[in-house]
């Protein structure tokens, strides 16, 4: 019998233990191979290898340099890693990528800036880049992902006067987290803000800050007030603006090694914007990141009032989970089942009233009936138990234990509550938004401060040791840092963005943290068979780091970057 050289070589390699994709023995050579690296496979044993082969959009082999080199053909691109660390693409299980896309081209990212002086320089540079102008296309945004407590020189908030000084010819809108904004004079003018502006309604929680003479200072607080009253400052949200901004976002995220985002949107993002992204980006093959997103119901993501609940219930029956491709898919419902039940420590230790939870029950029941994965914004233990009572009730009629419902943020759960959720097959999404703080800022909320005197929030080691599935994410792009490496730094070092201790009762190992940001997140999204680790047959989402995650000083983890990012077998960013 005559055996071809390629078949003979592959047979020898299989006998030698090299892993191959389940394709015919006469398969073509790989499209790309990575050799001479430190490959963190994040498989069940957290094993390491030297080299990886990619054929089409899949991992086709993982092994030693000699084994993978033997597969190289004439058309194979060989990438010498020169000892660099290669690992699975990072998965962010909670961000607001699509929702914030229209503002991204005008935005300046301050998350990694360590001094206030540099932050102001970056805002000035962005104004110069955009050029002078007094309309929405020339506004400079610094929307979240930063907090003055990260600055080592001066932790005071920006002022209207200094924003006027550094960007005199552009509107400037800076926002700390979700509820505090400082504007310059041109932004106030663009938004129609003057000294005789009436105080916001109490229901918005808003405040216009004034000086001793009653003049508006440029500082405004209150998340709902900022969202609606200052809306004219924002670029118009259209399919075109969302798509253009999304491409810019993805390009920036590729440099951070993020290959998959489970995104959550927000009010006033048009449903047809999602369809536009589908047609002009996803269907056209222009997406360089996997994006999993929730359904919209007109211009909203859930109901604000009881009168809107029937629309959401009907929408949950009309839309179908898992609609779309693996690059752009409607996957989950969240992060609010019923928006008035938006759990917050501002509630103190009070439960939500029965009439609110009755509306919550109606929406949750519809989600279970139609097979949706529910991801609910949740922080307080008392609210978790209110919700779990409803989940247990719903589970009797429409089983949810296989749907992998989860709590998002999940900061204040007790060990008893964790076990109660685990019994329902639930999981937890933990996010570095909590780390955008300092000991002083955390102490400013009495309820949260009391919680921290008893346990960590989130209770990392309780989740890890209990065995309940959990994954890591950011809650970017307004309330948290964009970078997954900041999240990894937070849970491994135990420090917040100011560099002060955050976790008191145990952190994660580097292995545990990386698993939580890759393989565990794939599980949370029902994608563990195709994503989350570098194993034969899985989709080729790969990141090469500038330094070794496993050995750099722990404080340097937050500053890691990708030098090569591959998504679906395509290199989407390269700086090697």
362-390 tens-digit pLDDT: 999 999 999 999 999 999 999 999 999 99
Helices (H) and strands (E) in the chain, counts: 18, 26
Element at 388 (helix H, strand E): helix 381-397
173 in a structural domain: no
Q: How many CA atoms lie within 13 A of 114 on its CB side?
A: 4
378 in a structural domain: yes
Contacts 24+ apart (CB under 8 A), 275-281: 275/239, 276/238, 276/239, 276/240, 276/242, 276/243, 277/98, 277/239, 277/242, 277/243, 277/246, 277/328, 278/324, 278/328, 280/239, 280/243, 281/243, 281/246, 281/247, 281/328
Q: Which two tokens stand for residue 431?
A: 């996010």
Q: Which 3-state string (H, E, C) describes 204-265?
A: HCCEEEECCCCCEEEEEECHHHHHHHCHHHCCCCCHHHHHHHHHHHHHHHHCCCEEEEEECC
Q: Quick one: pLDDT at residue 231?
A: 67
Q: Of 209, 229, 249, which is closest to residue 474 (Cα–Cα)? A: 249
175 in a structural domain: no
Gap between the Cα atoms of 239 and 241, Å rounded = 6
289 in a structural domain: no
459 in a structural domain: no
Element at 419 (helix H, strand E): helix 415-422
CB 259 within 8 Å of CB 565: yes
Q: How many beta carbons lie within 10 A of that of residue 570, not counting itself?
A: 14
Gap between the Cα atoms of 6 and 505, Å rounded = 55
User: In which residue ranges of the chain is pLDDT below 50?
Assistant: 1-26
402 in a structural domain: yes
CB 525 within 8 Å of CB 93: yes
DSSP string, 39-95: EE--STT--EESEEEEETTEEEEEE-HHHHHTT--TTPEEEE-TT-EEEEPEEEEEE
Gap between the Cα atoms of 494 and 524, Å rounded = 24
Residue 402 lies in domain: 305-325+333-409
Tell me how far CA of residue 66 lies from CA of 18, 59, 113, in angstroms. 10, 17, 43
Q: Quick one: pLDDT at residue 449?
A: 92
Q: What's the distance, CA 259 to chain centroid?
A: 11
Scanning the structure block, which residue is given the tokens 């041109």? 186
Instruction: Show the CA angle centred on residue 443, arms to residues 441 and 448, nearest 5°.
Output: 105
Note the pTM of the prediction, 2 decimals.
0.93
Beta-carbon contacts of 221 under 8 Å, excluding residues fewer than 6 positions away, are: 179, 180, 181, 205, 206, 207, 209
CB 262 within 8 Å of CB 224: no
Number of domains the chain contains: 1
Gap between the Cα atoms of 403 and 555, Å rounded = 37
220 in a structural domain: no
Scanning the structure block, which residue is given the tokens 């699975």? 88
Q: Quick one: pLDDT at residue 232?
A: 67
Q: Which two tokens stand for residue 496?
A: 């917040």
Q: Of 481, 500, 516, 506, which is closest to residue 555 (Cα–Cα)? A: 500
Q: Which two tokens stand for residue 224?
A: 């709902």
360 in a structural domain: yes
The 10 Å CB-count burial string (b at 16+, else e) for 18-34 is bbbbeeeeebeebbbbb
Region of 252 on the Ramachandran plot (φ > 0 left; ψ -120 to 50 alpha; else beta): alpha
Q: Quick one: pLDDT at residue 91?
A: 98
DSSP state of 138: G
CB 431 within 8 Å of CB 398: no
Gap between the Cα atoms of 28 and 33, Å rounded = 13
Scanning the structure block, which residue is given the tokens 């969302």? 242
Q: Which two tokens stand for residue 16?
A: 């030698």
Scanning the structure block, which residue is given the tokens 């019994």? 423
Scanning the structure block, which residue is given the tokens 């690296």? 37
Gap between the Cα atoms of 359 and 374, Å rounded = 15
Region of 24 on the Ramachandran plot (φ > 0 left; ψ -120 to 50 alpha; else beta): beta
Gap between the Cα atoms of 338 and 36, Å rounded = 51
């Amino acid at each position: 019998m005559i055996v071809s050289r390629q078949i003979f070589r592959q047979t020898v390699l299989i006998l030698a233990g090299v892993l191959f994709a389940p394709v015919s023995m006469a398969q073509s050579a790989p499209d790309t191979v990575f050799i001479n690296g430190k490959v963190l496979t994040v498989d069940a044993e957290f094993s390491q290898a030297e080299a990886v082969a990619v054929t089409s959009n899949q991992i086709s082999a993982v092994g030693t340099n000699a084994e993978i080199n033997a597969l190289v053909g004439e058309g194979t691109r060989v990438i010498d890693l020169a000892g660099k660390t290669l690992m699975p693409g990072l998965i962010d299980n909670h961000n607001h990528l699509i929702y914030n896309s229209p503002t991204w081209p005008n935005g300046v990212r301050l998350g990694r800036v360590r001094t206030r002086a540099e932050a102001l320089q970056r805002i000035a540079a962005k104004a110069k880049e955009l050029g002078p102008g007094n309309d929405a296309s020339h506004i400079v945004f610094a929307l979240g992902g930063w907090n003055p407590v990260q600055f080592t020189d001066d932790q005071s908030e920006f002022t209207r006067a200094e924003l006027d000084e550094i960007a005199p010819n552009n509107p400037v809108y800076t926002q700390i987290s979700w509820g505090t904004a400082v504007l310059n004079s041109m932004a106030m003018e663009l938004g129609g803000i003057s000294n005789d502006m009436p105080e916001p309604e109490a229901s918005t929680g808003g405040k216009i800050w004034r000086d001793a003479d009653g003049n508006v200072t440029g500082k405004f607080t209150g998340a709902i007030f900022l969202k609606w009253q200052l809306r004219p400052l924002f670029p118009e949200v259209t399919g075109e603006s969302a798509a253009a901004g999304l491409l810019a976002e993805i390009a920036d995220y590729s440099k951070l090694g993020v290959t998959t985002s489970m995104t959550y949107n927000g009010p006033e993002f048009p449903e047809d914007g999602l369809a536009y992204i589908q047609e002009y980006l996803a269907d056209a093959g222009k997406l360089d990141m996997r994006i999993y997103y929730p359904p919209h119901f007109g211009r909203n993501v859930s109901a604000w009032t009881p009168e809107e609940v029937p629309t959401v219930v009907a929408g949950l029956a009309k839309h179908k989970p898992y609609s779309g491709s693996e690059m752009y898919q409607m996957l989950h419902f969240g992060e609010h089942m019923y928006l008035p039940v938006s759990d917050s420590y501002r509630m103190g230790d009070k439960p939500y009233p029965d009439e609110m939870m009755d509306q919550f029950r109606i929406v949750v029941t519809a989600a279970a009936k139609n097979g949706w994965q529910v991801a609910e914004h949740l922080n307080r233990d008392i609210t978790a138990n209110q919700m779990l009572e409803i989940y247990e009730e719903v589970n009797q009629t429409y089983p949810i234990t296989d749907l992998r419902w989860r709590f998002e943020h999940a900061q204040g759960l007790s060990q008893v509550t964790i076990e109660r959720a685990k019994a329902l097959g639930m999981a937890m999404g933990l996010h570095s938004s909590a780390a955008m703080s300092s000991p002083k800022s955390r102490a400013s909320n009495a309820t949260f401060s009391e919680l921290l005197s008893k346990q960590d929030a989130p209770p990392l080691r309780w989740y890890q040791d209990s065995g309940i599935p959990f994954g890591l994410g950011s809650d970017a792009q307004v309330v948290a840092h964009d970078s997954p490496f900041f999240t990894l730094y937070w849970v491994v070092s135990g420090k917040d963005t100011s560099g002060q201790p955050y976790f008191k009762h145990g952190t994660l190992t580097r292995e545990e943290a990386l698993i939580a940001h890759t393989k565990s997140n794939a599980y949370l999204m029902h994608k563990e068979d195709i994503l989350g680790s570098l194993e034969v047959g899985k989709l080729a989402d790969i990141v090469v780091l500038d330094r070794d995650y496993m050995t750099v000083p722990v404080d340097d983890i937050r500053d890691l970057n990708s030098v090569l990012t591959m998504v679906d077998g395509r290199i989407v960013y390269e700086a090697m």
